[in-house]
Amino acid sequence: AASVVDELFAHWTSAAPVALLLAVTDLLGALGRASTALAATVRARLLAATTDDDGLAYAWGRALGGAAPRDPDRYLSWHDEVQAAWADRALMPAFVDGLIRAGNPAPLATLVAPMASGDDDDRAAAAALAAQVPLDELAPVLTALVADPVPAVRIDAVRALALTGAVFAVIGAFYYL
């Protein structure tokens, strides 16, 4: 298995075709998310990677997001490690894309919950993120966003509720739309 990981990292270059680079990125994220010794090696290699190439930096951030543990407590620790490794680079868009591509709801919920009670931009971002992956535990928060004064927030909140299967909340949302 270690030789497969070595081969994946060998293809993880700015010279790789974009489709291959993103496929390798998602595979590295999935391998890093596991709770194995190999996963720990993948995470360590991802944290140690550096680049000045914007495309590779995006792939790197996406792989780091994809490697995020599903457990909320382990996620917070991982996020701190990633933030330290990234220092002054713009992490969030690529990292969040990795979380979404991995279908990793617990870390997304930790990001969405506090934003849902923020300003207009925060609430819009929270609803848009919640509409990407089912965040069942945030159904009450999403239900509150259905009454938001900003129409785009309400629409994304309904989409997010539909992903959770909260049928009655979705039906009730049409009252606010």
CA 15 vs CA 12, 21, 56, 98: distances in Å: 8, 9, 9, 21
CA 153 vs CA 111, 135, 148: distances in Å: 16, 16, 6
pLDDT digits (tens, 9 = 90+) for 89-146: 766 788 999 999 998 898 999 889 999 999 999 999 999 999 999 999 999 999 899 8
- Count of CA atoms in the C-beta half-sphere (13 A) of 74: 14
Q: Return the pLDDT at 177.
A: 54
Q: Return the pLDDT at 72.
A: 84
pLDDT digits (tens, 9 = 90+) for 15-26: 889 899 999 999
Which single residue is written with the structure tokens 């990793």? 104
pLDDT digits (tens, 9 = 90+) for 4-60: 999 999 988 888 898 999 999 999 999 999 989 999 999 999 998 878 888 888 898
CA dihedral sign of residues 134, 135, 140, 142: negative
